Amino acid sequence: MFSEAVILAGGFGTRLSHVVSNVPKPMAPTYGKPFLCYLLDRLVDAGIERIVLATGYKHDVIESYFNASYRGVEVIYSREDTPLFTGGAIVQAARRLQTDHFIVLNGDTLFDIDFEEFARAHEIKNASITLALRAVEDTSRYGAVTCTDDGRIAAFNEKEASAGSGVINGGIYAINRTWLLSQELPTKFSFEKELLQPLAGKEAIYGKCFETYFIDIGVPEDYDRARREFASIFPADEFLFVDRDGVLNRHILGDYVRSWAQWEWLPGMPQRLAEWGAHYKRVFLVTNQQGVGKGRMSAADLADIHRHMLEDIEAAGGRIDNVYVCTDLESANSPFRKPAIGMALQAQRDFPEVDFHRSIMIGDSFSDMLFARNAQMRALYITTKENHVPEEVRDITDLIL
């Protein structure tokens, strides 16, 4: 099994631009978190130890989200200052690697292959490149791949010449790094058209076919399909973080809920909390309450509100495992005040089983969505008829209720 992987995450995403305009395509929110997270999860679960993200367009969005690691695995960056196309991006990233063989994924495609089986096929053939192939009903969007009986790639048929069922390039490659870097290649080139196609039938380029889940979010219809399908494909979240005002109870415009007498549950919410308590292993309330910091109410007043709130929740059969509050003023830049994740980190210290990658945040503000993004949780945005969804929220999550 290989230990290093490259993900091509530098494309412009032109065909998705009217759907997701402010983030690069691999960061398109899909079932509450960036599409790229699902690719990284697959690599981490497969035992990959080092991942290079080949970035370009809006690279800062990707780099600020993942920083230097993901789920304990090292993440480094190979940034394109000018577009290098797929081939140039792969070669530049390969120079950041340390091992002889590595895996490449397209950042807009999820192909749920068995990476160990794929690596074994590559090693057995002593291949220069191995492609993960997928049988589809219509090859016209992708172009078809023709293989010999022993799995060697014989030809690539262009999209225009393809129609009907067949086998396509699934966008995952295993590559012999030493072989790749020994080729005389231009700085900027298409990996598919200028390397794979001319070498088909001449070089040790093989294919390994998989019948597993495949989706390319490069067009709006398939992006929408991914958003619908991921909820049933991926494991359910285990830990819930929830905001208070506007989610559990009604906001008081221009003021704060300063006493229990001012508290008004949103319809059905105590019962909803009972449902959440039955579904999630842990449920946490995380709430900014700078009304205390402003002197509009005391810490004792806030504690009394939460005591009554918890009593109502328990009477409905629900629970909140812990309440986390930040009373600091917004101007204090507190590490505990959302969108900073101090309250989430405290919950993780109090309950070490909490895994942010298996968590969801429910909130009604951009700050709540940033909190989720900063902790790399899934995010669900609660809105009302009189509360439109800001564009910056749509850049973070597609789960809107």
Active site residues: 243, 245
DSSP 342: H
In angstroms, the CA 186 to CA 182 distance is 12
Contact call for residues 199 and 156 (beta carbons, < 8 A) = no
CB neighbours (10 Å) of residue 278? Answer: 11
Both tokens of 179, joined, read 């072989």
Contact call for residues 270 and 313 (beta carbons, < 8 A) = yes
Place of tokens 């001012």: 262
Contact call for residues 382 and 401 (beta carbons, < 8 A) = yes
DSSP 375: T
Exposure class string for 172-188: b at 16+ Cβ within 10 A, else e: bbbbbbeebeeeebeee
DSSP 115-144: HHHHHHHHHHTT-SEEEEEEEES--TTT-E
Both tokens of 107, joined, read 């950042």
In angstroms, the CA 36 to CA 230 distance is 13
Contact call for residues 289 and 327 (beta carbons, < 8 A) = yes
In angstroms, the CA 97 to CA 4 distance is 7
